Amino acid sequence: MLITKILMLLAIPSSLQGISADDDGAKLRLGGGPATRGSAAASRRLLQLPGFGNIPGAFGSGSFGGSAGSGGGGFPGIPPLPGVPPFPPLPGFGGITGGTAGAQQQQQQQQGRQQQQGQQQQQQQRQASSYPGGGGSGGDQQQQPQPQQQEQQRSEGRGEGGSEIVGPTVGRGGANPDRKERIRSSLDAGDSQEAGRELVEAARGGGQQDSADALLQVLGGGNTDAVAAASVSAAQIDSSAAATALAAAAATASQRNLLQPWASAQASAFARAVTQGSALNPFATAVGQAIERGGQSAVQAYGYAFAAAAASGGDSESGLAEATAVAFCQGGGLAVAYAQAFSFAISLDRRGCVTLSTARARAIAICGGGAFTAQAEATSFVLRTCGLLGGLNG
């Protein structure tokens, strides 16, 4: 009999849909069926039956209505009966509020994790923005102008702190209309000393193109003597800076169809240099370096000048021969530069071989046959062209 009651009681939870009692406990609904009247004490006794306890299951335990594994605590479990095998474990029944409480707890935990992740992301963003130059635009905007300012200073021919770059540097420095105008004014006025000084200062500051523009403008006006005098004067002040200015002018002359005026001016410059005596060596050096620095355009421009000087005869030819002898005795790149320009000049006018022969004789007299022989490799082509390669020890 006892076993039958227990089995009946165990069957109730599977069909139990709801339990409700009114205020006086006079009504009791089981499974949603019709109300059964009884005393309040009977209702309480039914609700307190020991069969509806915390039945352990494979997925959890708890009071009525909860999902497996998420329910709350329930009543004590069914005690084992003597002689009756124990009941197999049943899936746990959560409490009436267990499922809702478990779901709310999971939702709260998920919200907590999301809030924590959001706080971590905000903290990382704040830390990244606090790094120098990182995360914000302030660091980049403050640091970026420095290389731009340095590049602008370099393009203007100025160094750090705005100081002027000293020394001949071909291709550097920006155009300076005032500087170019000063050079042109000195040339037009016939002040060769001032013009030479302006040419040197411009080249030292990276403004050799201003020098070239001024020289070629004056040449375009037909004033070749002013350019010749300024070229020699600049070489006497600083042959290397003068070479930079002359290289820029020689390389640009062909682009502006001014090769003939340029050739005439430089032929006159050779005559001035040889007549002044002390000006010959620095001018000869400046011309050789100008040919080296100006590239093939300068080789051709000075080739025209050599041809013009050789064809003119007199002091121009003598000055060219003496300057060539100086270059041959110095050797190296200077000798090669003169040899290249002479090769081009001879291709224009074979009379250049006469001047080259004079230069060869002067070189042997100045630096000796042995020294000139040591430099013969650099000048052998042009000497062979004119039949002057043999007899260097003469």
What mean pLDDT comes out for the span 239-268? 96
48-69, pLDDT tens digit by residue?
444 444 434 443 444 433 443 4
Report, as an integer, the average pLDDT of 228-244.
Answer: 97
250 pLDDT above the threshold of 90:
yes
What per-residue confidence (pLDDT) applies to 227?
97
Region 189-218: what's the mean pLDDT? 93
pLDDT (average), residues 185-207? 93
- Amino acid residing at 295: G
Selection from 177, 172, 233, 236 nearest residue 204 by Cα: 172
Amino acid type, 354: V
Q: Which carries the bigger pLDDT value, residue 190 or residue 114? A: 190
**Predicted local distance difference test score (pLDDT) of residue 114:** 72
**How high is the mean pLDDT of the chain?**
71
Q: How confident is the model at residue 291 (pLDDT cuts 50, 70, 90)?
A: very high
pLDDT tens digits, 1-46: 556 555 555 554 444 444 443 444 434 343 444 444 444 444 444 4
Mean pLDDT of 306-334: 94
CB atoms within 10 A of CB 354: 14
pLDDT the model gives residue 389:
72
pLDDT tens string 136-163 = 433 333 444 444 444 444 333 333 333 3
316 CB-near residues (< 8 Å, 6+ apart): 267, 268, 270, 271, 308, 309
Residue 331: predicted pLDDT: 87
CA triplet 253, 239, 371: central angle to 5 degrees? 105
Domain map of the chain by residue range?
A: 177-385
Half-sphere exposure of 339 (CA within 13 A, CB side): 24
For residue 394, name the pLDDT band (cuts at 50, 70, 90).
very low
Average pLDDT on 262-287 reads 96
What pLDDT, on the 0 to 100 scale, is given for residue 5? 56
Higher pLDDT, 128 or 260: 260
Residue 100, pLDDT score: 45
Q: Name the percent of the chain lying above pLDDT 70.
A: 54
CA nearest neighbour of 247 among 269, 231, 264, 260: 231
Q: Over 90: is that where the pLDDT of 376 sits?
A: no
Tens digits of residue pLDDT in 325-353 = 999 998 888 999 999 999 999 999 999 99
DSSP 8-state code for residue 94? B
Does the pLDDT of residue 367 top 60, yes or no? yes
CA 345, CA 354: separation in Å to the nearest integer?
12
